[in-house]
Chain A
Amino acid sequence: MPNLVPKALRKPGKPGEGNGALSPEKLKEAPVDLVGWVDERTGASPFLTGLLFRKVPKGTNWYYTLGSATLFAFLVQAITGVFLAMFYVPSPVEAYGSITHITNDVFLGEFVRGMHKWGATTMIILIFLHMARTFFFGAYKYPRELNWVIGVVLIILTLVMGLTGYLLPFDQRSYWATIVAMNITATGPILGPYLADFLRAGAEFEATTLSRFYALHMMLVPGLIIALIGAHLYLVVKLGTTAPPWVRAESKPKSLREEKV
């Protein structure tokens, strides 16, 4: 079976193999495939092969997929959210009607809305499982503290997504839940009342409260989340992952003693 991976993205040879120089045959090879053409102009293949073939510690197991699972849940939310936005109307008079229209009339509308609704819950569960894995495996320790901090900010932003998205169906439950949430915000001393006014765009539930939540839910917060996920992944690749706590380091003291003898 021919190797389907383009040449530029194949696993690089191990260090020490060959003399490091390009062979004349290799130099003669002009990139004929599309990936090679792009690679010759971007020089992206060292970065990509470094990303795809990076070393992982012994003992890496299924718990290490929780971060990717959270990322996948976020992508599901992003994609279904874009398509829901095609039918949703962020106006207090029309919002509920547009949601029932999506659910009852639009082809596969109930399915896409269901994915977005249940995907939100799934993402919250996965992000906390991912956090628990990091905590119990001690993967937050030096030099990965900054990545823990970024992850905590990402959890907060995900909860903000849950809060702002909850209002959008605009039924009784979401309306009153949001009223309560904004009033909880207002109970913070000194700044709380102004913060609640900012969220509501006024002293009561205003004409622009819903569109404000909509703008936060589909533009500002997702933008921040995407930027921070980028930083999070950069640090994961840069620093590497940790071995689980039950995998011991190669017995170094023993070999030291042997050397002494």
Chain B
Amino acid sequence: MADPANNKNGGAAGGNEAPERPKPAGYFEGETMTRRAAFAVAGQAFGGVAAAGVLLPVVGFAVAPIFDRPEERWEAVGPVDAFSDDTYRQAVITLRDGIGEAGKTTVYIRRGNPSRFEGESADEFIAISTRCAHLGCPVRFVEAAGSFICPCHGGVYDFEGKVLGGPPVRPLDRFQTRVRDGQVEVGPRYSVTNSLKPVRSRDPGEFTGGIWEYLYPPRPSTPPAP
């Protein structure tokens, strides 16, 4: 009954039987999906799988460094006797190998001073990171003022690295230290809260302590706090 004219005539005659349409290729009794629809779905699924097969590895390749933690580096910065407890001594350490100056940073190191600061001991060493806690510019220790000053936006920190003024959101970061063979060694960086409690290393501009530990979650790319 492929002839439309016949269908029309049937309709006009008011017959009860529905006009029969030609069966598509591959039709069988009781089918739930036409052959055409099945091939359309299969074709799109195949295209989707092929696209995912290319995109997923590529995106994973670009995102992988987020989950990669480099090996801890410890670098000797001088003999134990070279450091006093009333001022800082500068040292340049390498954070990342093979990229020249861009992989290096300055560290300020002193001996712990229990008479001035509670919770410090005379045989530990304090290594202060020069990365400003505002947006990461390099701070400088100004001997005459006894404080760290940032050239970019005017952040000022006291002798311990606590914020005195300006935009920084937390005290200066620190590096872990240890003594090996009479040499002071500087290790991974960690952040501190306003009461100088060590926490996992955060990027500059991120608050530490309290609810901020959840709003700025620790990243897999940084070592745990000491």
- A residues sitting closer than 8 Å to B (CB atoms) are 92-93, 170, 175-176, 179-180, 182-184, 186-187, 189-190, 192-194, 196-198, 200-208
Q: Given A202-B70, A202-B221, does the pair A190, B100 have CB atoms closer than 8 Å?
A: no
Q: In whole angstroms, how far apart are the Cα atoms of A222 and B70 in the complex?
A: 32
Indicate which residue in A92, A201, A203 contacts B201 across the interface (CB closer than 8 Å): A203
22 pairs across A/B with beta carbons < 8 Å?
Answer: A92-B103, A170-B102, A175-B102, A179-B135, A180-B152, A182-B203, A183-B204, A186-B203, A189-B215, A192-B216, A193-B217, A193-B219, A197-B66, A198-B66, A202-B68, A203-B222, A204-B95, A204-B96, A205-B96, A206-B99, A207-B97, A207-B99
Q: Please encode chain B, from 77 to 114, with 1 for each CB lying within 8 Å of some chain A CB and 0 for all others.
A: 00000000000000000011111101100000000000
Q: In whole angstroms, how far apart are the Cα atoms of A48 and B95 in the complex?
A: 58
A188 nearest CB across to chain B (Å): 9
What 9 A-B pairs have minimum CB-CB distances, sorted nearest first?
A: A186-B203, A92-B99, A187-B205, A201-B65, A203-B221, A189-B215, A183-B136, A180-B135, A183-B204
Q: In whole angstroms, how far apart are the Cα atoms of A175 and B137 in the complex?
A: 10
Which residues of chain A come closer than 8 Å to B204, judged between CB atoms? 183, 186
Q: B96 and A198: CB pair below 8 A?
A: no
- B residues sitting closer than 8 Å to A (CB atoms) are 62-63, 65-66, 68-70, 95-100, 102-103, 135-137, 152, 201-206, 215-217, 219, 221-222
Which residues of chain A come closer than 8 Å to B205, judged between CB atoms? 183-184, 186-187
Q: A198 and B63: CB pair below 8 A?
A: yes
Indicate which residue in A93, A184, A197, A198 contacts B135 across the interface (CB closer than 8 Å): A184
Q: In whole angstroms, how far apart are the Cα atoms of A189 and B216 in the complex?
A: 6
Indicate which residue in B100, B215, B219 contacts A194 across the interface (CB closer than 8 Å): B219
Q: B100 and A93: CB pair below 8 A?
A: yes
Q: Given A93-B100, A186-B204, A203-B222, does the pair A197, B136 have CB atoms closer than 8 Å?
A: no
Closest to A92 in B: B99
